[in-house]
Chain A
Amino acid sequence: MSYEELLDMKPYSLNREDKHRFLTNRLVELTMKHKEGCSEYSAILNSIGFRVDEIHSYEQLPFLPVRLFKELDLRSVNEENIVKTMTSSGTSGQAVSKIYLDRATASYQQKTMVKIVSEFTGTGRLPMIIVDCPSVVQNRQMFSARGAGILGFSILGSKKMYALDDDMKLNVDELKLFIENHKGERILLFGFTFMIWQHFYKELLRLKDEGITFDLSNAILIHGGGWKKLINESVSQEVFFKSMNDVCGLSDIHDYYGMVEQTGCIYMQCECGNLHASIYSDVIVRDPFDFSVCEKGKRGIIQVVSAIPESYPGHSLLTEDEGEIMGEDDCPCGRKGKYFRIFGRLKNAEIRGCSDIYAEMFNK
């Protein structure tokens, strides 16, 4: 079946059996497509003796460690069909993932994102405040994950403003005016969790002390990018929620889980605080010891599958995140599909040995 058919369905509408059937078909199809189109992927499948006739469920399909997209150039279509290359936002010196998109894949990503997020924001565009600086989206040939996220979400905005300038300072006057102009309307706020905390929340808090306040009680905040930096500052999800609420009245707050290697299929946090898999993708938790599938409630390594990627073999990936499935089809919020939580990144291995290089990496 084609991806367009899947796009016609509502993101959280399928129960386990139906979703399983759809996804298995599509993912097997993608596996064969990439085997055909990507020689590295084909070599990998051959090396493990992959046979498609043995696959009855997408849980049995091979998965690639996401790291491979940093080490290898993996694509399944000719170079001239690539319209966009996305990169992960690695810090300097680190290798970055390179994700090659053709027209169809890029368009699926965008459409999927809109379908998923609209479930939370409602159809129709909203005035949008992007809690970031404009320069992050300037180079459109090479998208960073941050830039790609912003551009992806921007499509949901009618009027848009960047809340920060390129020095990461809050545009106080502009923000004031924007909120004023859209009084009574629902506003969409979007940004990366740490940016929001560091450059938005902290500034609002400071301004509040000076008597300058902003009312965002009618807004919805969608944020992603992980909690690592905030955990270092001892800011938990609860603290984050409460602080945002206290400082500007925000209460409709949704985290999301996603990665540049599977852009589009984001996992939104529902009103009950759970991350949800839509019908376009799924999460499988694997036991680190033997990669067997973990039951509900058992902590393991997150594998993500996505029905989107046609131009690169990224439809089944093993992340380096730890998480657990909390349930399926029965979240009190009413959405179908698996719901889960993420505990964060797996620890680097502590390795003994003669060479000092590892130790120095740890010391830095």
Chain B
Amino acid sequence: MKKVKALILKTAGTNCDYETQTAFELCGAAADVVHINSLVEKKNKIFEYDILVFPGGFSYGDDIASGKILANEIKNKLGDKVKKFSLSGKPVIGICNGFQVLVKMGLLPDPELFEQTSTLYYNDSDKFECRWTYFKIEKKIRNESSCIWTKNLPDVITLPVAHGEGKFISINDKLLEELNKNNQIVFRYSTKDGKTPQYPLTPNGSVEQIAGICNTKGNVFGLMPHPERYVLALQHPSREGFDGKYGWGKIILQNAVDFVK
């Protein structure tokens, strides 16, 4: 069987690249950390890969706004390639800063439009916060969404978040309606039993507790929490996991690897 290849794109300030690489390797993929300069130098290199990953960190220090500079750089230098990759149906994921990049270049929620229509803004608490919380995958999403990344997950999962700018805001209510209608809001912050949470379980004040969204096709996924930080049960605060060994983050990444296979 062919080895699934993941490209983890990094630039100055990317800092979750190695754990993301290790996590994909754990899922049976081969993962390369590739600097944006070498991708710009060889633009078609992107098509040697099956999965495109925008990892967490502080790209270019999050100067101006989180993810904004990298989003512009990608759009200007690699825009058509990234768009083509996304529209081809191959899995694309943006985690934390990567999600901010996807939203700010407009690859989410609609890669065909490829225009920014939403943002991830400063947390309501006005500070960076690192904590674990719960995420709900609604029944409707589980049954109807085409998201390839969230299959095989239970109703409520736990993952850690660590960000200062994670409050999802859409350009207008119409977009929000569409996201809901098209089953694109795949992760919402929640309580342990799937109810609407208060701060700090909803750590940033996101509209409708939005924590992760995908495109209508379901291959492009962006989320604030860090699946790569919970691939092993050991990483959980009280060492919970499935099969006695793994964390929910592994299922998310494994979904993409299995999808490609």
Asked if A and B are interacting partners, one says no
- Seen from chain A, the residues whose Cβ lies within 8 Å of a Cβ on chain B are none
- Seen from chain B, the residues whose Cβ lies within 8 Å of a Cβ on chain A are none
